[in-house]
Chain A
Amino acid sequence: MTNSSANDSGQQLLMPASTAEVVELLRAAVGSGSRLSTNRVTAAGTNSAPDSVRRVDLQKMNEVVDYPARDMTVTVQAGMAVSELTKILAEENQQLPIDEFDPLLSVGALVAGDIAGPRQYGYGTLRDYVIGIEAVDGQGRIFHAGGRVVKNVAGYDLCRLMVGSRGSLGILTQLTFKLKPLPEQTTLRSFRFDDAADFESALTKLNVSAANPVLLDFNFASSPPAQQPTDDSDCVQKDIPYALHIGVEGAPEACSWQIEQLRNDCAGGEEVTSDGSLDLSVDHHCRNAGYGWQDNEVRIRTFPSKLVAVATELGARGYSTQGHAGNGILFVQDRTGDTDVRTVCRDIVSRHGGTVSEWTVDHPAKNPDPLSAKLRSTFDPRSIFTA
């Protein structure tokens, strides 16, 4: 029997302790016509699900199912906290190289939200690490895909379909990941550029750098323009600084060698140094770069070669940006108050190429493409899972 309680906002919480109980919940929901919300990234009190929606919380399904460390794979229940998994893997000098920004986030939510942090530049994203899944779809069917070996092409790749599906296709109950060794050392360096051209030049050099960065983030702090620009030629504000954060890893001598390469690549900028008051470490940067996972942020994916142009145009309109320069990913926060930031982003991206995400961290697009819509109705024909 599944336990239930109410969260702080009075929303009903269902806490199954096994996959069989998840199936029970689904069947009951099908029978009663009720709706469920699951594998969410945002905290219970902050999501926008209405009170009539019952939230499924898998915190009781938090066991390691199998961890053959020498195979460098791990299978866990989806309710395990990512921070707990990180701790367990570290004992074997291993990692799931997906940057965690919320210690309470569950593994299932991590996968459903396709969370990816700064080190995606060097390590890729969850689609590169999920090798097996167990889930329950909107008809109460338990399904599996992949397996527990690192190379496997048997059957359709439902693992990747589930990564980033925002809980709209099923409730993830178990996941198998392939793992990476922990690096011997990580090092972060930050550089400041006052000029867009110098910043662009550094990014171009870094694309073919002799170093091998695992992290290539930027932020661009804008101050609102005195007046809105009248045309594109007004969009460049040369006095606004760009900051570039670059992470490398490996043996100490490899890190030192790479830092020297980075200094050459970023010769047009000024290296940021710390008197000890700033934590300039990869670990600190990754844990604190949790941008992109707030519902009020807009995510843009453009070409890396267009990143500076997009950031500069947004800056000219008063928007600060930050993100993953090496991947062409920008996050935009609306600091101008009443402007429709999404509309501005769409306008800029339409000229430079790329996409403005219509998804939020917990919600799939309201108007999905026909194929995605068809898949949603395949897995969840009664719309049990809220969007």
Chain B
Amino acid sequence: MPGGASGALAGFSDLTANTESPLFRLAESHMSSAETVTTNCVITAEFLKELAAVVGPARLLSSKDELLVYECDGYVVEKSVPDVVVFPENAAEVVAIVTACGKHRIPFVPRGAGTSLAGGCLPVGGGVMIAMTKMRQIVDINLRDRYAVVEPGVVNVNLTRALAGTGFHYAPDPSSQGACTLGGNVATNSGGPHTLKYGVTVNHVLGVEFVSPQGELIQIGGPCGRGNGFDLPGLFVGSEGTFGVVTKIWVRITRNPAAYRTMLAIFDSVDDTTQAISNIIGAGIVPAALEMMDKGIVAALEQAFHFGFPLDAEAVLLIEVDGLEVAVDAEAETITRLCKDSGAREVRLSQTEKERALLWKCRKQAFGAIGRLSPSYCTQDGVVPRTKVPEILRFIAEVSKRHDIRIVNVFHAGDGNLHPILLFDERNAEQVKRVMLASDEILGKCIDLGGSVTGEHGIGVEKISFMNRLFTDEDLTVMEDVRKAFNPDGRCSPGKLLPTAGACGMEHIEKQHPGRKAAM
């Protein structure tokens, strides 16, 4: 089906393997299964009856048609249909579900809105999917003590909406904030444009209540932050669902800045644009947001939103400073000067709140506009040191040319967090092959430049093959030991994050999906 969006690719089945690249090896594993993975989990009538007793028949899906909806998340390359989907409404039900899974040795995976771009909530090997979308209450908001208590299924933007007018907001704002859930944000340690100044999810999580893979309800941290012990909330955030099922979150809320200045700097060359990024950060200025969009993405956005973007520009920077009314103008002026010194032909200052809101709408819906450019696309999430942004963008342009694959860029330039978007038609197997190679080269280059393969999307199942390039065997062994401390038999979100040996009772995955063995 064309038109799919993914953290990687679709349509591997016609490819001929000719490379040792990690993504290609991953592709081979998909080719070997060729179709959607099914499961060998033994789902007995007794087990289903136990689950139904917990959630009732209306909140349990087990028919093939209904389950198909849950075969993948935003990462459409790999599909694996769960055997059962349940929708708990409270922590006690999650405890009962996980306990039943333990009794029958069934793997399970929590799922929020399914917006992961790395297969973070893929039910590898089947089993039970615990969909958290019915646990969506904002339990408490305490402005004086600056925290909120939420259930994991609360959609990110709904918390900020609930805070509207109070003078506070929830700072992490992933581009998918209109759909993604706070539980999913905790699992992947989500970022967003404003994390340049305000930090990512972990900087705003005070505590987590979760159900361990053994079925215990555990609270780590709380409204006053971490208590006596290690920084377990800090460790838990970003564990990609492998430590347990989140049932409650205490998040810090942040005072709204008194003033904003939002600018659009327009450049005639990508080199000048990246130099401006480097000069702004190098000058010790940390804007609230510093986002880059190149010509290709600007064209798509202009078609979609009619903002008035200059279609002849090679790239634009969306820059926002915030803080005291008395201070923001001076900061905006400095940034304007640095941009012009770097070759910007124009720096526009947003004149109204409406204009600012539209500019941000364009940025946050950039991925949605890609459909105007190509039937399929693949987004990567590499990170490089900020001063290496010019180098990596030149490399991406060179890769694009060499593989004859169009690549557009919209990304968190201030963090060095790239989102090169590779455009293709997944019905063309030869194109798919070139996209895979190009993606692999880009992520490899990020590592070579001292960066990482993921800044905010997570490893999931997509980038497991890169973990051996980022970390030593000993690093991965230690991480595996940490996972075992929480999740000893690996039944909770199997096949994610680590390329090390995995779950007891997961042998069926190897039989049906040999390539996946390496991901367990």
Contacts and interface: CB of A to CB of B under 8 A. Distances in A.
Q: Do A and B come from one complex?
A: yes
Interface of A: 68-73, 93-94, 114, 124, 127-128, 137, 141-145, 147-161, 163-165, 169, 180-182, 204, 207-208, 210-212, 250-251, 253-254, 257-258, 301-305, 328, 353-355, 357-359, 364-365, 368-369, 371-372, 374-375, 378-379
Interface string B445-487: 0000011111111110001001100111011111101111110
B452 to A, nearest CB: 4
B33 to A, nearest CB: 26
B326 A151 contact: no
Given A155-B467, A371-B486, A165 B203 contact: no
Nearest to A94: B284
A70 B278 CA distance: 7
B200 A160 contact: no
Given A250-B324, A251-B330, A359-B228, A127 B234 contact: yes
Given A71-B281, A143-B474, 6 more contacts: A72-B284, A94-B284, A144-B472, A149-B415, A365-B228, A368-B230
Contacts of B188: 153
Contacts of B402: none
A152 B382 CA distance: 9
Contacts of A210: 258, 324
Contacts of B161: none
A74 to B, nearest CB: 12
A158 B482 contact: yes
B459 A155 contact: yes
Contacts of A151: 191, 195, 200, 383, 412, 415-417, 452, 455-456
Interface in B77-124: none
B387 A156 contact: no
B369 to A, nearest CB: 24
B285 interface: yes
Contacts of B453: 154
B227 interface: yes
21 contacts: A70-B281, A73-B385, A93-B284, A114-B231, A128-B199, A144-B471, A151-B415, A151-B416, A152-B455, A155-B459, A157-B202, A157-B239, A158-B478, A180-B286, A207-B143, A358-B228, A371-B218, A371-B232, A371-B485, A372-B230, A378-B481
Given A181-B284, A207-B144, A303-B223, A152 B482 contact: no
B255 interface: yes
Nearest to A302: B224
B146 A157 contact: no
B237 interface: yes
A212 B167 CA distance: 13
Contacts of B195: 151
A345 to B, nearest CB: 13
B53 interface: no
Contacts of A169: 230
A124 to B, nearest CB: 7
A158 to B, nearest CB: 7
A145 B223 CA distance: 27
A144 B450 CA distance: 14
B133 interface: no
A353 B223 CA distance: 9
A151 B456 CA distance: 7
B189 interface: yes
A143 B482 CA distance: 12
A156 B203 contact: no
Contacts of B278: 70
B478 A147 contact: no
A148 B455 CA distance: 12
Contacts of A69: 282
B67 to A, nearest CB: 29
B479 A153 contact: no
Nearest to B222: A355
Given A153-B188, A304-B146, A145 B383 contact: no
Contact of B386 (A70, A147, A165, A328): A70
Interface in B300-351: 323-324, 326-327, 330
A119 to B, nearest CB: 16
Contacts of B459: 153-155
A375 B146 CA distance: 30
Contact of A152 (B224, B452, B483): B452
B78 to A, nearest CB: 19
Contacts of A358: 228
A349 B145 CA distance: 16
Contacts of B225: 301
For the side of the interface on B, what is the size category?
35 or more
Contacts of B263: none
A93 B283 CA distance: 9
B228 A149 contact: no
B116 to A, nearest CB: 12
A254 B231 CA distance: 36
Contact of B323 (A157, A165, A212, A353): A212
Given A71-B387, A181-B285, A204-B144, A157 B235 contact: yes
B497 interface: yes
A148 B482 CA distance: 22
Given A128-B199, A358-B228, A375-B482, A149 B416 contact: yes
B229 interface: yes
B220 interface: yes
A372 B229 contact: yes
Contact of A250 (B327, B415, B456, B484): B327
B203 A124 contact: yes
Contact of B282 (A70, A142, A211): A70
A155 B281 contact: no
B444 interface: no
Contacts of A152: 383, 451-452, 454-455
Contacts of B184: none
B387 A149 contact: no
Given A149-B416, A304-B144, A354-B224, A158 B456 contact: no
A155 B324 contact: no
Contacts of B239: 156-157
A144 B228 contact: no
Interface in B179-205: 188-189, 191, 195, 199-200, 202-203
Given A152-B455, A161-B235, A378 B230 contact: no
Contacts of A160: 202, 231, 234-235
- Interface centre among B235, B281, B453, B463, by most chain A C-beta atoms within 10 angstroms, is B235
A147 B446 CA distance: 12
Interface string B230-273: 11101101110000000000000001001000000000000000
A212 B485 contact: no
A222 B431 CA distance: 76
B384 interface: yes
A67 to B, nearest CB: 12
A151 B417 CA distance: 7
Contact of A141 (B229, B386, B477, B485): B477
Q: Return the 4 tightest CB-CB contacts between A and B, nearest first.
A: A160-B234, A181-B284, A70-B282, A151-B455
A207 to B, nearest CB: 6
Contacts of A143: 472, 474-475, 478
B193 to A, nearest CB: 12
A144 B473 CA distance: 10
A161 B477 CA distance: 16
A152 B452 CA distance: 6
Contact of B234 (A70, A161, A305): A161
B124 to A, nearest CB: 18
Contact of B384 (A149, A304, A371, A378): A149
Contacts of B203: 124, 127-128
Contacts of A372: 229-230, 232
A371 B232 CA distance: 8
A128 B237 CA distance: 13
A208 B232 contact: no
Interface string B348-390: 0000000000000000000000000000000000011111000
